[in-house]
Structure 1
Amino acid sequence: IAEDFEYGVFDCTNKEMVYGRYVDLKEDNASEPTSSQFPQLNKDAYYFGVYFPNKTSTLAGEMWIWGFSSLVLLIVVVFFGYTLSAIFRQKKLSEIQKDFINNMTHEFKTPISTIALSSDVLQSKEIVQQPERLTQYAQIIKKEATRLQNQVDRVLQMATVEKNTISLTRQEINLNELIAQSVQSAQLNLKEGGEIRFEPPVEDIIINADKVHLTNIIYNLLDNAVKYTEKAPTVVIAASSDNDGVVISIQDDGKGIDKKDHELIFKKFYRIPTGNVHNVKGFGLGLYYVKMIVEAHQGKITVDSSENGTTFTVHLPKSI
C-alpha cells in the first residue's frame, strides 16, 4: 500500500501512547528509527496500530473512473428510457390517428352514399308523377346533408380549439332562450318515446359569453345524452344562477360511465372501449371541444356517473 501512514504503540496498562510516528512516503522519511526513539517493550499489554489518514481522498481519486462510467451508464439508460417512451407515444398517436381516419371515413361514407342513391331515384322520370315519394327522398337528402354538415363542422371546430388559439366573441346572452333553442335542435335526434325536459328558471339568466360556442357546448352534451342511452332516453337539463356564476347540468338515464374513464373522456379522440360493438359513431372530439370552450370561458366541467345515469355539470362565470 503506497500511501502515507501513521503507526503507534499503545500501553494498555498505563492507557497511553508510548510511541507514534508519521511516515510521509513522498519525502522519503521511512528510515529506521533509532533505538533511543523506540521504547523497550518488555511486557504483553501493548497494541500496535497503523492508520492511513489520506485513505478517503485516495480511494475517491482511484474510483473516478468508476464514477465516470456510472454517470455514462446512467445517461445511456435515461436516453434509452426516453427513446422507448417516445416510440410508445408515437405508436399510440399513430393508432389514434388511424382510428380517427377510419371513423371519419365511415361517418362521411354513409350520408354520401345515401345522398347519391336518393339523387339517382330523383333522376328517374317516374318520380315526377309520385309527389309523396319525391318529397320523401328530398327530405332524406336534406337530412343526410345536414348530418354531413354537422360532422364537417365538428372536425373544423377542432382547428380553433387548441389552447391559446380560441377566439371568443362575447355578448350578453339570455341563457334560458339559448338552452330552449338547443333542446329544440337536439329533439330531432330523439328515439321514439324519448324526451328532453327543461324547466327554465322564473327569472332570465343573463351571461356574457360566446353565443356560438356556448350553443355548441349545450348541444354536444345533449347529443351525447341522447346517443349513449340505449333505450328511449329521458334527459333533464337545468340552469341556475348565483353570486359565483351560472350552473348548467345535463342528466341522462343511461348506463353510466366507469369512474376510470371520467378524466379520459375529455381527451382528444378518446372513446370509451366497447369491444367489437360500435353502435354509436363519432370522432371522440365532442367532450374535448366542450372542455376547451368551458376553460376558455374560465369555467369548469365535472362529471358524476352511476349505473342509473350520468350528469355533466358546467360552471361558468356570468362575466369576466
Structure 2
Amino acid sequence: MNRRAFQILVVMAAISIVGTLAVQFFWLKKAFDVRNQQFDHNVKSALLKVTESLCQINQEVSRTDAIEQVSSNYFIVYVNNKIAPKTLESLLKREFVTRAIHEGFEYGIFDCSNREMVYGQYVDVEQSMEVASALGSFPQLLKDQYYFGVYFPHKSAGLVSQMGIWIFSSLLVLVVVIFFALSLFIIFRQKRLSEIQKDFINNMTHEFRTPISTMAIASEVLKIPGIVKQPERLSTYAEIVQREAYRLQGQVDRVLQMSNVSKNQMLLKREVLDMEDLVGEQLRSYRVANDSARLEMSVAEDLPPINGDKVHLTNVVSNLIDNAIKYSGSEPVVMVSLMVSVGGLTLVVSDQGKGVEAKYLKAIFRQFYRVPTGNLHDVKGFGLGLYYVKMVVEAHGGKVEAMSRAGEGTEIMVTLPIDKS
C-alpha cells in the first residue's frame, strides 16, 4: 500500500470512528430527552390530579395553571388553600404510582404569605403508604393559604437506569469502535515498522557494501603477480583490507549488540570502574584514528568510582565520541567532561557540529531513528548508537539527556549512579 492510499485509509477510518460515536451519542441523547419529557408530562398529570383532589376536598374550583416547573426536577403547585400533609402525601404517592413514577421525591408545604416552608418530607414511593406515613409526624397547619412543591433529587439517575438497552448498545458500539481504532493503530504501527525495517536494510546494505567493495578491490591488487616485489604497496593494501575488515566486524557487532538489547538479554557484569581511565583510553584510540580531530578531556577532582559493566560502558563512551566526530565536519572539536552531580557521576560529550533541530531532539534515542537530511547521506550509521546508549545507561540505573541547537553543536549528558560501597 502506497503512502497516499494509506493516508486516505487513515482519514476515512478517523471519519468513520468520529461519525459512529457522534450518531450514537445523538440517539442516546435523543432517547434520554424523550424519557425526560415523558417523565415531566407524567409528573404534571399526576400533580394536576392531586390539585383537583385537593380542590374537591376544599370545595373549590381547580386551576389549570396551578402547576409551574421551576427546573428539570422541581415543580410548584399553587393551591392557595388548606393542605393537610397526610392527605397530600397520600395523594402524591397514589398518583405517582398510577403513572409508573417510582422515583423517590421530596415535598414541601409553603406559607403563601411569607414563602417559608412549614413542612417537608422525603418519600420513597416503593414503600407502603403506612410505612411512609410513619416516617414523620404531620402538623396541624393553622392558616388557610398554602402551596406545595415537589422535588425529585434522583431524577437523572433514575432515567439513566431505565435506559438499559440504550446503554448496552452504546457500550457495544464503543467496544466495536475501540476494536476498530486498535486495529487501525496496529496497522499504522506495522506500516511504520515496515518502513523502518526497509530503511534499516537499505542503510545496512550500503554500510556493508562499502567495506566489501574496498576489500574486493584491494584483494584484486594483491593478486597481481608482481605485488610481492613492491612491499610498500603490498603493505598499504593489506592495511586497507585489515581496516575494512575491522570496520565490517564493528558494524556486525553493533547489530548483534542491538539484537540482544531489543530482546532484553543484556546481562551486566558489574565491577568497580574508574571512568577517567575508561574515557581516557577511548580518547587515545580516537586520536590515533582521527588526526584532524581535536579531542579534549576535562575531569573533576576526586572523581568517585562507579559500579558498572566495563564492556557496555566502553561501548557507550565509544558511541558518543564517534557520533560527535562524525557530525562535526572535517575538523571535529569534541570536549569530554567528567564531573560529580546531584544524581551521581555525569559524563558530558559535546561537539561543535551541525547540531539537531528541536523537533528532532526527543527522537534521536529511538531505535533505527536518524535525523532527516533530505537526499544527503554523508554520515554513515544504522540509527542504533544512541538507542544502545540509552538502553545501557538505563540498565545501570542512570539517565541520558541531549541538548542541541541547529548549527551550534550537540551535548549528550549521561548520569550514572556512584558506587558507595
TM interval, shorter chain, is 0.7 to 0.9
Residue 209 (structure 1) shift: 1.8
- Alignment partners' CA distance in 1, 2:184 and 2:304: 52
Q: Tell me, yes or no, if structure 1 residue 15 matches structure 2 residue 81.
A: yes
Residue 81 (structure 1) shift: 0.9
Residue 104 (structure 1) shift: 1.0
How many pairs align? 300
Residue 294 (structure 1) shift: 0.9
Higher alpha-carbon deviation: 75-84 or 55-64: 55-64
Equivalence for 2:229: 129
State TM-score, norm by structure 2. Answer: 0.63
Equivalence for 2:188: 88
- Alignment partners' CA distance in 1, 2:347 and 2:419: 15
Equivalence for 2:18: none
- Alignment partners' CA distance in 1, 2:279 and 2:410: 19
Q: 1:276 to 1:15 in 2, by over 3 A?
A: farther
Matching residue within 292, 310, 332 for 1:233: 332
- Alignment partners' CA distance in 2, 1:216 and 1:150: 11
- Note if contact 2:297-2:337 (Cα within 8 Å) is conserved in structure 1: yes
- Alignment partners' CA distance in 1, 2:157 and 2:311: 72
Higher alpha-carbon deviation: 232-241 or 144-153: 232-241
Equivalence for 2:370: 271
Equivalence for 2:172: 72
Letter in 2 for 1:221: L
Equivalence for 2:219: 119
Q: Tell me, yes or no, if structure 1 residue 155 matches structure 2 residue 221.
A: no
Residue 263 (structure 1) shift: 2.1
State TM-score, norm by structure 1. Answer: 0.81
Equivalence for 1:182: 282
Residue 204 (structure 1) shift: 6.3
Tell me which of the two structures has the higher relative contact order, counting C-alpha pairs closer than 8 angstroms and 6 or more residues apart: 1
- Note if contact 1:176-1:205 (Cα within 8 Å) is conserved in structure 2: no
**Secondary structure of the structure 1 residue equivalent to 2:354:** coil
Residue 92 (structure 1) shift: 0.6
- Alignment partners' CA distance in 2, 1:239 and 1:161: 26
**Secondary structure of the structure 2 residue equivalent to 1:265:** coil
- Alignment partners' CA distance in 1, 2:296 and 2:267: 32
Equivalence for 2:415: 315
Higher alpha-carbon deviation: 63-72 or 209-218: 63-72
Letter in 2 for 1:15: N
- Alignment partners' CA distance in 2, 1:238 and 1:208: 19
Residue 242 (structure 1) shift: 6.2
- Alignment partners' CA distance in 2, 1:15 and 1:180: 101
Equivalence for 2:200: 100
Q: CA RMSD in A?
A: 3.5
**Secondary structure of the structure 2 residue equivalent to 1:247:** strand
Q: Tell me, yes or no, if structure 1 residue 145 matches structure 2 residue 245.
A: yes
Equivalence for 1:293: 392
- Alignment partners' CA distance in 2, 1:193 and 1:186: 10
- Alignment partners' CA distance in 2, 1:244 and 1:61: 55
Equivalence for 1:248: 347
Residue 25 (structure 1) shift: 5.7
Letter in 2 for 1:148: L
- Alignment partners' CA distance in 2, 1:68 and 1:287: 49
**Secondary structure of the structure 2 residue equivalent to 1:8:** helix
- Note if contact 2:305-2:419 (Cα within 8 Å) is conserved in structure 1: no
Higher alpha-carbon deviation: 89-98 or 17-26: 17-26
- Note if contact 1:176-1:201 (Cα within 8 Å) is conserved in structure 2: no
- Alignment partners' CA distance in 1, 2:279 and 2:230: 40
**Secondary structure of the structure 2 residue equivalent to 1:76:** helix
Residue 56 (structure 1) shift: 7.8
Structure showing the higher helix proportion among its residues: 2
Q: Tell me, yes or no, if structure 1 residue 196 matches structure 2 residue 238.
A: no
Residue 65 (structure 1) shift: 2.7
Higher alpha-carbon deviation: 170-179 or 194-203: 194-203
Higher alpha-carbon deviation: 91-100 or 172-181: 172-181
Runs of at least 5 residues in structure 1 that lack an aligned partner in the other structure: 27-46
Which digits, 9 at most, give the CA deviation of each residue in 1:50-79, with x for residues without a partner?
A: xx9xx9899667643322222211111111
- Alignment partners' CA distance in 2, 1:14 and 1:131: 125
Residue 186 (structure 1) shift: 2.2
Which digits, 9 at most, give the CA deviation of each residue in 1:6-56, with x for residues without a partner?
A: 612366674345997535669xxxxxxxxxxxxxxxxxxxx9xxxx9xx98
**Secondary structure of the structure 2 residue equivalent to 1:270:** coil
Residue 160 (structure 1) shift: 2.6
- Alignment partners' CA distance in 1, 2:258 and 2:83: 86
Letter in 2 for 1:274: T
- Note if contact 2:293-2:331 (Cα within 8 Å) is conserved in structure 1: yes
